Structure 1
Amino acid sequence: MNRAVVYRSASVVLNYPDDDTLALRGIVRRALDESAPRAAAAFAPLLDWWEQTPTEDVQRAYVDVFDMSKRHALYLSYWTDGDTRRRGQVLVDFTQRYRAAGLNPSLTGELPDHLPLVLEFASSRPDEGAALLQEYRASLELIRIALVERDSPYAGVLAAVCATLPGASPQDRQQAMALATTGPPRESVGLDPYDPRLLPMAAPAMTAPVVTGGR
């Protein structure tokens, strides 16, 4: 499995499904079929639903699931720190990790712990990104479980991301909460190199800083 392809694909499909994002479903499906067949099966319910459902309904469902309910919040530190003072420092730490890798998340308009942003980082910086995802394994699993409970087609995407990390996924919410206390398994999480075929999938949300002679 090419884990970087899984991360890049998940980053794309977990963003708001505007026309540009929905137009990428064929590219996402082909990339997964070629490089990550098991993940392709997990993404299939969402990609099939996109193809069979009017755009307005897809967009309305996304807002309902991710924007109107904290049970499915895509902000990783929300699950570990909530709306506390500590979370402010955590968000600064996310930004510093990105900048240390030569990336600039400030153009996205999203908080740096937004899962699509973290997944894009992971796809282009496999070692650092995988370590970051593993640190927030409890958050990922709680989002996954909440989506399963809602019978959302997005659940398979979270399952595919969790499957790239070491250790089995918890079976229920109680076990997932325990991860926040005991910590996730600490096995190696080295990834395959980034697959450049996915570069045209979307304009990069994070960009390397531009250095001029004299954004």
Structure 2
Amino acid sequence: MKTLRALAALLSYPTAELVAAADEIRETLDREAMVPAPERANLHRLVDDLAAGDLYDLQERYGLLFDRTRSLSLHLFEHVHGESRDRGQAMVDLLKLYEEGGYTPTASELPDFLPLFLEYASTLAPRAAVELIGQPANVIAALRERLAKRGSPYEAVMAALLALSRARLDATALATLRAEPDPEPDDLAALDAAWAEHEVTFGPGAADATGGCAVDGLAGRLRAAMRPAEGVAPPLTRGRRAASANQGAGS
């Protein structure tokens, strides 16, 4: 499904190459027509926004949204395990899922980075791909609401993913996600407090909090990757790696 690759590109850090590929992304979305027309029209507006914007402004906006603001993190496990020790094993499990599916990530991002996750899903048969992207539907729904609150054109990607997956949302899990602190990127004190929060959990059914029901072993393996595990320290997200590097440089 090239549509998923197009959506992955739209959620990636803006580069000159991404801007140059705007027409190709637009054509892919229209040619496959996997996304319903209303959501596809909003995706076109995002593509137009990226194509017409100043690259440095686009990059700054992206960083403020997705790297600085924890509640908008594109790392899926951030919203399930937070900075708990369980996240590392979940990363290992997800990477193993990729490898068993014959997919070797070439990016330096962590395996739970949503654009990378979508790249992997794009290599699967359509039914398996749709099932897989439905697993983190609650997280995607929460991200959509937060982006909509900010009037961000990136909301269009989350809406498209929800429309594609047609996954049933879990009201309890979504309510837990909605209760996460959601500060604005210029509220530094609130951002620091949010990063210091304990892990997000969803009770005994935590493994199912990503939304959707498995119809094959692939989706089940993703749920296993989302399940808490003991004893492995979590890796840092891109934003936290940068913060750690800056602290190290200042010490």
Q: Aligning the two structures, in what range does the TM-score lie when normalised by the shorter sequence?
A: 0.7 to 0.9
In the other structure, the counterpart of 2:7 is: 10
Q: How big is the shift at 1:57?
A: 1.1
Quote how far apart the aligned CAs of 1:111 are: 0.4
Q: Secondary structure at the match of 1:51?
A: helix
- Aligned partners of 1:159 and 1:169: how far apart in 2? 13
Q: What is the aligned partner in structure 1 of residue 94 from structure 2?
A: 94
Contact in 1 for aligned 2:13/2:62 (Cα 8 Å): yes
Report how far residue 83 of structure 1 moved.
0.9
Q: 2:186: which partner in 1?
A: none
Q: Within 5 A, what are the aligned runs for 1:1-215? A: 4-36=1-33, 38=37, 39-105=39-105, 107-126=106-125, 127-167=127-167, 174=175, 183=209, 184-186=211-213
Q: For the structure 1 residues 132 and 168, does the alpha-carbon distance in structure 2 shift closer, same or farther, using more than 3 Å as the test?
A: closer
Distance between the aligned counterparts of 1:158 and 1:146, measured in 2? 10
Whole-Å separation in 1 of the counterparts to 2:177 and 2:164: 17
Task: Report percent identity of matched pairs.
Answer: 29
Residues 188 and 45 of structure 1: CA distance in aligned 2, closer, same or farther (over 3 Å): farther
5+ residue gaps in structure 2? 180-201, 217-251
Counterparts in 2 of 1:73 and 1:16: CA distance versus 1, 3 Å: same
1:163–1:169 contact (8 Å) kept in structure 2: no
The separation in 2 between residues aligned to 1:43 and 1:170, in whole angstroms, is 26
Aligned residues: 185
- Structure 1 or 2, whichever has the larger Rg, is 2
Normalised TM-score (structure 2) = 0.66
Superposed CA deviations along residues 32-84 of structure 1, whole A, max 9, x for unmatched, are 12221624213122112113321111111111111111121000111111111
1:200 alignment partner in structure 2: none
Please give the alpha-carbon distance, in whole angstroms, between the structure 1 residues aligned to 2:5 and 2:65.
Answer: 21
Contact kept, 8 Å, 1:118 with 1:129, in 2: the verdict is no
Amino acid at match of 2:3: V
- Using the TM superposition, give the Cα deviation of residue 188 of structure 1 relative to its aligned residue in structure 2, in angstroms: 5.7
CA distance in 1, matches of 2:8, 2:78: 18
Runs of 4+ off more than 3 Å: 126-132, 167-171, 175-178, 180-183
Structure 2 CA distance for aligned equivalents of residues 169 and 58 of structure 1: 31
* In structure 2, C-alpha distance between the alignment counterparts of 1:77 and 1:9, rounded to whole Å: 22
1:162–1:169 contact (8 Å) kept in structure 2:
no
- Relative to structure 1, the CA distance from residue 167 to residue 108 in structure 2 (aligned partners, 3 Å threshold; closer, same or farther) is closer
CA separation of 1:162/1:176 partners in 2, compared to 1, >3 Å: closer, same or farther?
farther
Deviation of 1:187 after TM superposition, in Å, equals: 7.4
1:202 corresponds to which residue? Answer: none
Aligned-partner residue type, residue 35 of structure 1: E
CA distance in 2 between counterparts of 1:186 and 1:156 reads 24
